[in-house]
Amino acid sequence: MAELHDLTALEQGALVRDGTVSPLDLAEHYLDRAARLDDVGAFVTLTPEAARAAAAALGSAADRPDDAGPLWGVPTAIKDLNLTAGVPTRFGSRAFADFVPDVSDAVTLALEAAGLPSLGKTSTPEFGSPCYTEPDDAPPAVTPWDRSRMAGGSSGGAAAAVAAGLVPVAQGSDGGGSIRIPASCCGLVGLKPSRGRISAFPTYGDPVGLATAGSIARTVRDAAALLDVMAGHRVGDPSWAPPPSESFVAACDRDPGRLRVARFSQPVIADIPVDSIHSEVGAAYEAASVLLEELGHDVVDVPVPLPAEAVPVFETCWAVLTALSVVPAEREPLLRPLTRWLGERGRAVSGPDFGLAIGAMRRYAAQALQALAPYDAVLTPTLAQPPLPVGALRDDADPARDFENQKAFTPWTSAWNVTGMPAISLPLHWTADPQPLPIGVMLAARPAEEQVLLALAAQVESAAPWQDRRPPRW
């Protein structure tokens, strides 16, 4: 008989709905697993008392509100970048080791309102900047497929938690790939929605528009269900996506029809040589192309839609965003070398130059969107390599080299942050190593067309299912 954690988040929600288990039963099950099995660096803060109280307050199936969604009563966790009132929120930094916010952000509030008790805060690197999760004051987040290898970042703790069965589904955030990178490393579905799909209330800390919250899950439908919970805009949001015509879960159940799928494997970062891409990544990309054709779609090779000149513009914006994470002067020595290096780069950019960079990036994005407009979806690899050993990218002695290492590992993901397109990483491939390692393949769609993307992703999952793949010590 299947254990509770073997079930999808939606299946667990159905058990709550019919009274087979209670929200408290599920919370206790996952709290026990998190306490015993978190050797993957998933959590930086566990809040068992708050989780039990929240689950108990939901009651039983008889207390379920009429308008409750399908994840009501299902446990989750909140990334350590997201404000959570009364719970330590350290942003992955020793400089904020004692920070406890008195307000929650829109994502936290949406999860609470939808009846998803949080077990605690998941690990993230300092300010969510690196694509690996190796904070100074916590163990590194690792993939449960090989605990000597990275879970990716910056939502590495969230992905490690879902992949190890410590929570059924979790939110992450993504400004350059930070949901899709750990999804690929951990053998999960990672969904970055369109710009403006999820509110950034109350901080609105990204004036460039690169970052958004999103879903990390074991199945496409679970990822869609969590997006249904988080989606929506608040009065005052600087941008928002139009509301969908149906739920995102419902989109997973419809035939996508025959789609035109553009594809390219040339890195968006032009100075990354093609021959540096792992052969298994190429195999995953080609196999996904064949699968899409077998499903009846037209797959067309296209040039890289962003020019090489867009990369330094993105880097300028990234550095300025890092510099906006202001800490008291006396705590600056606590910051990691990479953060200090990026912050110095950002502070060296003048206000007019930053404005020019934002304008240039928007023009590059417009050109890319025009080039891709004839296509319903775009296929690329997610990462250039399988999950690497912990520490393989990090270089505290040479932060510039650290940054270059990250670019070589992630030469595709940031493109869809620039354009604002929704994108999803799917765990379609595993290496043939003695201990197989997951490799994700990425699909993107036009802005605000998550329904098309999810219908296609669910069709792919049905044709090549991965749900029964379980890491060691599951």
Catalytic residue, candidates 178, 184, 215, 265? 178
User: Which tokens hold the place of 251?
Assistant: 């989109």
Number of CB atoms found within 10 A of residue 386's CB: 24
Catalytic residue, candidates 22, 93, 129, 154? 154
User: Which tokens hold the place of 318?
Assistant: 């990234």
Active site residue 79: yes
Rounded-to-integer distance, Cα 234 and Cα 231, Å:
10
Starting at the edge strand that comes first in sequence, how are the strands of the sheet with 76-79 ordered? Answer: 43-46, 118-122, 76-79
Catalytic residue, candidates 22, 79, 93, 123? 79
Torsions phi, psi for 147 (to 5 deg): -70, 5
> Where do the DSSP E strands lie in 63-177?
76-79, 118-122, 169-174
User: Which tokens hold the place of 179?
Assistant: 């949901």
Active site residue 154: yes
Active site residue 178: yes
Residue 452 makes CB contacts below 8 A (sequence gap 6+) with 251, 256, 259, 376, 377, 445, 446
Using CB atoms within 10 A of its CB, is residue 454 exposed (0-12), middle (13-18) or buried (19+)? buried
Cβ–Cβ under 8 Å, residues 449 and 378: no
Catalytic residues: 79, 154, 178
